[in-house]
Amino acid sequence: MVTTGAGTPVTLPEVKTMLKKVEKQRAELIYEQRITLEHAQKFARLTVKQAKDLVKELEALGFLDESQIYTIANILPSTEDDIRAIFAKERFSPTQEQIAQIIKIVGTYYIE
């Protein structure tokens, strides 16, 4: 999960937008910011609005915690195995029905 300096979780599209603003304000980003921006540009597959809408829909499910929601929004898992990998170290393991709900929601925002 990606967080701001204040500890607020954000999605990769939001990170990309924030760092592009910083890049416009300064002549050059510091090393860590430049690497993070490159990563966000490569892997952020949704717009900021789509990512926020996806987070809201995942929150509405009621069985995911904040870190799981943002991980799903950033990775955009498309298979059961992808989702199981996210929960591999968690105490909570989603049911088959819950996994299907997650895949359906993610699929409405991102199609490979």
Tens of pLDDT, residues 74-108:
999 999 999 999 999 988 899 999 999 999 999 99
| pLDDT value, residue 26 | 87
Cα separation, 63 vs 30, in Å, equals 38
48-109 maps to CATH 3.40.30.10: no
Residue boundaries of the structural domains of the chain: 2-43, 48-109
| pLDDT value, residue 21 | 93
Q: What is the pLDDT of residues 4-48, one digit of tens each?
A: 556 789 999 999 999 999 999 987 899 999 999 999 999 999 999
pLDDT at 61 over 70: yes
The candidate with the shortest Cα–Cα distance to 71, out of 12, 17, 112, is: 12
Cα separation, 40 vs 87, in Å, equals 23
